[in-house]
Amino acid sequence: FSPDEIYERCKSSVLMIGRIYKCDKCTKWHVGSASAFAITSDGVIATNYHVIEDKDGATLGAMDLSGKTYPVTEVLAASKADDVAILRLKGARLTPLPLSREAAPVGSAVNVISHPNGRYFTMTKGDVSRYFLWRAKNMAAPRMAITADYAKGSSGAPVLNSEGEVVGMVSATNSIYYTREKGQNQNLQMVVKLCIPVAAISKLLD
């Protein structure tokens, strides 16, 4: 599919997720600013572990492209190391995204549909740049890096191949600076985009 076809086919499967709150400026309910995507038609979705972590009992929910909101009723599976959480939404009827059975090769084209800093349903394009083993705080898990742009609010968004299949999930960024002076990073050179490979999502569904 062309990038515009991928966007039209997949955008309705992408959701906003976060704390549900009633707006003090209008009569509508709103949902916080991370991303998620549908993996079944009856309300099972995927997002990052860090999106649902430390919410202090706040009511979590998701909002679809049409503006409908759904409360999160259950955490079906989660992995902190893989930064993946599988959730169930109450009463949702969604269009699921297919998960690729194979890893996207390095150099292959990918697309991300996400909500960077409130810029909802933004699509960016890039390539898979590498796979590596991520290590932190007694944890280790596979990661993939891509060149498609994203920012805060994009966490949990699908990384899509040219067939519109999920090959990964947005997770984090890592800024590379040339120097550090007086405790301050200087001269930003590159922002590495770190994602979760599709295999880490699939294993939580088995």
Amino acid 58: pLDDT = 61
Are 145 and 127 in contact, with CB atoms under 8 Å apart? no
Output the six-digit token pair for 179: 């120097």
CA distance 193 to 72: 28
Quick one: CA dihedral 93, 73, 88, 197, positive or negative?
A: positive
E strand residue ranges, the chain: 14-22, 29-31, 34-38, 44-47, 60-63, 69-79, 84-89, 109-114, 122-136, 139-146, 158-160, 166-181, 184-197
pLDDT band at 19 (very low <50, low <70, confident <90, very high): confident
Amino acid 57: pLDDT = 52
* Burial class of residue 63, CB neighbours in 10 A (0-12, 13-18, 19+): buried
Amino acid 54: pLDDT = 67
How many Å is the Cα radius of gyration of the chain? 17
pTM, to two decimals? 0.92
Are 29 and 18 in contact, with CB atoms under 8 Å apart? no
Amino acid 183: pLDDT = 87
Q: Which of 149, 2, 173 has the alpha carbon at shortest distance from 83?
A: 173
- Per-residue pLDDT for 197 more than 80? yes
108 φ, ψ (degrees, to nearest 5): -80, 150
Contacts of residue 26, Cβ cutoff 8 Å, sequence gap at least 6? none
Amino acid 137: pLDDT = 84
Which position has the higher pLDDT, 139 or 148?
148
The predicted-structure confidence for 74-122, as pLDDT tens digits, reads as follows 999 999 999 999 999 999 899 999 999 999 999 999 999 999 999 999 9
Domains and CATH numbers, the chain: 3-7+97-203 (2.40.10.10), 12-89 (2.40.10.10)
Give percent of the chain above pLDDT 70.
Answer: 95
